[in-house]
Structure formats: C-alpha cells, structure tokens
Structure 1
Amino acid sequence: MLGTLLSFCLMAIGARELSGEVSTFQMLFFRSVIGLVAISLLMFATRTTAHVFTRRLRLHGLRNVFHYAGQYGWFVGIGLLPLAEVFALEFTVPLWTAIIAWLFLGEALTKAKLAAIGFGLLGVFIIVKPGYEVVNLASLIVLGAAMCYSISHACTKSLSATEHPFTILFMMCVIQLPIGFVLALPSWQMPVGTQWNWLLLIGVTALSAHFCMTKAMQYADVTSVVIMDFFRLPAIAVVGVFLYNEQFEWSLLLGALLMLLGNVAAMSKLKAGNKIESEITEVRANKTKRK
C-alpha cells in the first residue's frame, strides 16, 4: 500500500503537469501503451507469458470499463481542483466499495469497518467543507469517478482470488488501450519535449499502483485495503502546497487525523480478530489430533 500511495501521488503530479497541454483521452491512451509494453517485457523476462490468458474475460471487461471511466474523471479533476480536494472526494470510494463487497462478494460489514469508514468520511467532509463551493461540475465528476472506482475495486478483489497480478494488469492495458485510442482521435495532438517524460511517468506509476494494489488485495479484504489508502490525502496535500502553491488549511490536519484514527482502529480490530480466529483454529486442530 505504500507503493500504491507513492505511485498515485507521482501520477497526479504527471497529470497536473500535462493538464491543458495534452487531452485526458490521450494521457489515458499513452498510459495504456506504456503499461502494455512494460508488463509484456516483464512477463517475458520472468517467463510468465502464460498469464496473458484468462477464463474470466467478462469480469475483466466489466472492471476495465468502470476503471477507465473512473480514471478519466480523476484526471479531469486533477486539472480543475486542488490536489487534496480531488483525493478527498475520491475517498468516498470506501463507502461504495464496502457496500458492493458486502452485496456481491459476501464480505462482512463489521462494526470496525463501519466505524473506520465513518471516521474517514467525516474527515473528508471536514476537509472539503460541503456547501456551495463543492457542489460544482468538477466535484461531481470526481464523485462519479469514485463510484466507478468502487466497482473496479470489487472486481479486482474477485479477480485476485483466481488471477495472477500480471493477468489483471495485462488485461487492463489490452482492454483500455483501444478505448483510449478511439476517444483520443478527435482531439489528437502529438506530444512534444518534456511531455513525453510526464507521459512515461504516468504510464509507469499507473502500472505500479495497480500491481501494488492487486498484491495488497491478496493479503487483506478489499475494504481494509481501501481504508489504508486514506494516507494518500496528507501526502498529496504536502505536494500541492510545495509544488503548486495550493492553499494549506488546518482543517486538512483535522480531517487526516480522523482518517488515521479510523484506520488504526480498524487495523487493530482486524488483527485482534485474526489472532482469535487463529487461536480457535489451533485449538480445534489439537482436539482433532487427540481424537
């Protein structure tokens, strides 16, 4: 998840630097091209090319349609809103993800998760100060992106149970590349100079972010992973202040603190629950041996 945090922050910087110079559709297209080349080379180097095949193509398609829509909304928001506000609005994802994972993946919606999500959302509301200034088109686009991301996260959790991370990443690039190309054609403009550097950064970090997220989901349930993702908010706020002279507000510290408290409480409950479950399993195993 630390790898995910760093990747998303660097990707946001790349998107901000290209905003107004390269269209969002082109950014997403080149992201897929760079990602496809990188993952293909990595699979050849590790002799894991068998992972290009999948028996769950429909779920991959569903995941990537919603992920592409979420990514588009996120990139648009990066160019229109302060970085911290984009990330804060994006962090409504845990609410939608928890509901979707509960409805379709059978994950338990425990009191600890609900409390953590509640603290997190309260922190978001304190940061963005819901009111007239938040209810605008850019904010609604980012909120829509958050809903799309939640569906994508739920699909990733389901896929990670049977699919190798390379398969998920490879299918992401293969499916999203033609979508991005078709949508980018009407406003196509060949990148020049340092724009290629930023596009390369976006392509690489998009791949590393999803690899890290997919691996994290193999070790924890989807809601816990997304809750940990809250740490991106204070990190990107620092980036916004120092790189783009965005206004620093003390409410950010309060909101981030609430998110941290919720996250720590959820992780403590999760670890305690896992410990108890492990002890019960051990007792049962000992009884079986005695019999």
Structure 2
Amino acid sequence: MSTNLTPAQGTRSTDFAQGLAWMGLSMASFIGMSVGSRELAATLSIQQVLFFRALVGLFVILALGRALLPELRGLKMVRLHVLRNVVHFFAQYLWTIGIVLLPLASVFALEFTMPIWVAFFAFLFLKERLTTPRILATIGGFIGVLVIVRPGLGMVDPAAGLVLIAAAGYGLSLILVKQLTREVSPGAIVVWMILIQLPLGFLVSLTDWRPVSFTDIPWMLVAGIGALAAHYCQAQALKRLDASVVMPIDFLRVPMAAVVGYYAYAEAIDLWVFLGGGIILFSNYRAVMAERRAAMAG
C-alpha cells in the first residue's frame, strides 16, 4: 500500500502541525500575560495594569496596523465594538484580580467554564439551539467548578466568584465578536479593542494611581505583548484546526500554569484543580465531539 499523501492530505497535515505550533505559542502568551500582570500588580493597581497593557498594545498596532486605516475610518459596527469592549474590559478587571489573589492554575481552570457561557449566550442572543450535549456540558462544567472551589470545606475564596463572573463576561464578549466578524476583519477588531480599552483603562487608573518605576517597564511589555500575541496566535490556530481540537489543547494551560506557579511563586500543586479542570474539559469535549458527529452525519 502506498504511503504517499495526496496534495489535500499533505495540506491538512501541514495545517495540523502549524495549528499545534500556534496553539502552543498562544498558551505560552496567555501565561506570560498572567505573570506580567501579577508582577505589575505587586507595585501598581489593577486599574493601572489594564491601562499599561493596552498602552503597549497601542504602540504595537501603530507599528503594524496602518493597512487597516481605511476600514477603521468607515466606523462599521462601532456601537457593537464599544459594547463588546466595555464587557471585555470589566471581565479583564475581574480576571486580573483573580490572577493576583488565586493560584494561576485555579484561575485558568475556572476560566474554562467560558464554553458553558458561550452556549448559553448563543442560545439567548443568536438563537442557536441549546442541544442535549450542551446541556450536559453545562451540568458537567458546574460539577467541575464545585470540585475546584469545594464549598463547605472552609471559606470559599470570593476571588473564585470574580473569576467565574469574568468567564461569563468573556463568553458574552466572544458572542459579540462572532457578530462583528460577519462584517469586520479580525485585525480591525483587535485595533478597536485597543482604541476603546485604552481610554477606559486610563480613566479607571486615575482612581488608584500609584508611582511607576523603570523596573515596571519590562513587565508592562510582557503583559501587553503577551495579551496581543495570545489572541493573535489563537486566531491563527483556529484558522488551521477545528474548535473541537483547539479547545482540548487549550486546557493544557491548567497544568502549564500550575508548573509556572510552582516554580515562580512556590504555589502548591492542588490535585483538586486538575480534577475539576478535567471534568470541565471532558464535559465540553464530549459536547463538541457529539455536535461535530451530528454535523458530519447531516
């Protein structure tokens, strides 16, 4: 039997390998952004962390985003851009509080309830069907959250609740992005994100402004470039891989974050986080695979 690949098979194989590489860069960027944000929050306020992350992003888009000027001048769907970024900004604010107060692995595990919120908001706003697999994923995700926060075993950290609210905000933001992509390019969406969130970050940072030193600048670059790179690399991965492949790979951020937290901050590796994250992963993976099989059958 010949082992030669057809051109189509060779292209799919190349796309798969490239998609895995982009996904690895995305996960590393997310963790880099988290570490940079935590280090900045040691001397600056959370509001300043968000502002400087966006400020770094502004310099990046000024250098690379000139080709998007004609599209930006059209102000297409600008109201939806504003709504999306206000939601995303406050979700980032709550998420960053979680990064400062909770172990990194716990934050990422709780954040992975986002697919549950995406299914709910898609049903509410986009009129997508809430199928049995999605309902089962919701139940499984809720059980996974209970395993992570373990109510009843001492005082539940309120920061965990803030991260869950942030995950809901990210889910709503993703639905709004999905609506934007019908008429707006991904590059323009990123540029509008910086242009809207930068003044928001500046205004809220004035409520708790603290002195900035030169030693903060490297962490600003890590947090700001990490944030942009994470979203860009994830989009590149999604171009090459199905969401049903990207999502399980993305869950590897939980053990990666646990390792970084262990070596960088001497955080104990909590097996309950891995167990709860695994339940959330399995629930969402089964739901996506079931819907993929149904789509292929159709």
TM over 0.5: yes
Amino acid at match of 2:76: R
Q: Tell me what 2:112 maps to.
A: 91
With the length of structure 1 as denominator, give the TM-score of the two structures: 0.82
Q: Cα RMSD between the aligned structures?
A: 2.8
2:69 to 38, 42, 49: 49
Q: Secondary structure at the match of 1:107?
A: coil
Output the CA distance in 2 between the equivalents of 1:25 and 1:97.
Answer: 26
User: Structure 1 residues 259 and 92 mapped into 2: Cα distance closer, same or farther (>3 Å)?
Assistant: closer
User: Structure 1 residues 203 and 227 mapped into 2: Cα distance closer, same or farther (>3 Å)?
Assistant: same
Q: Tell me what 1:23 maps to.
A: 45
Q: Secondary structure at the match of 1:174?
A: helix
Gaps of 5+ in 1: 278-291
Q: Deviations over 1:13-42 (max 9, x none)?
A: 111212230111111111111112212321
More divergent stretch after superposition (205-214 vs 216-225): 216-225
More divergent stretch after superposition (154-163 vs 247-256): 247-256
Q: Secondary structure at the match of 2:269?
A: coil
User: Structure 1 residues 63 and 250 mapped into 2: Cα distance closer, same or farther (>3 Å)?
Assistant: same
Partners of 1:40 and 1:170 within 8 A in 2 = no
Amino acid at match of 1:119: G
Output the CA distance in 1 between the equivalents of 2:139 and 2:27.
Answer: 21
Q: Tell me what 1:9 maps to.
A: 31
Output the CA distance in 1 between the equivalents of 2:245 and 2:126.
Answer: 14
Output the CA distance in 1 between the equivalents of 2:236 and 2:71.
Answer: 15
Shift in Å, 1:179: 1.1
Partners of 1:120 and 1:258 within 8 A in 2 = yes
How many residue pairs were aligned? 275
Shift in Å, 1:206: 1.2
Q: Deviations over 1:63-84 (max 9, x none)?
A: 1111110101111111112222
Partners of 1:160 and 1:214 within 8 A in 2 = no
Partners of 1:117 and 1:227 within 8 A in 2 = no
Q: Secondary structure at the match of 1:191?
A: coil
Output the CA distance in 1 between the equivalents of 2:180 and 2:238.
Answer: 10
Output the CA distance in 2 between the equivalents of 1:17 and 1:241.
Answer: 15
With the length of structure 2 as denominator, give the TM-score of the two structures: 0.80
More divergent stretch after superposition (156-165 vs 80-89): 80-89
Output the CA distance in 1 between the equivalents of 2:88 and 2:244.
Answer: 17
Output the CA distance in 2 between the equivalents of 1:113 and 1:138.
Answer: 27
Shift in Å, 1:220: 8.7
Question: Residues 175-190 of structure 1 correspond to what in structure 2 (within 5 A)?
Answer: 175-190=196-211
After superposing on structure 2, the runs of 4+ consecutive aligned residues of structure 1 that deviate more than 4 Å are 213-229
Q: Give identity over the alignment, percent.
A: 40
Question: Residues 65-80 of structure 1 correspond to what in structure 2 (within 5 A)?
Answer: 65-80=86-101
Output the CA distance in 2 between the equivalents of 1:36 and 1:23.
Answer: 20
More divergent stretch after superposition (8-17 vs 115-124): 115-124
2:150 to 108, 115, 129: 129
2:57 to 35, 53, 72: 35
User: Structure 1 residues 11 and 194 mapped into 2: Cα distance closer, same or farther (>3 Å)?
Assistant: same
Q: Deviations over 1:206-232 (max 9, x none)?
A: 112233445567789989976764332
Gaps of 5+ in 2: 1-22
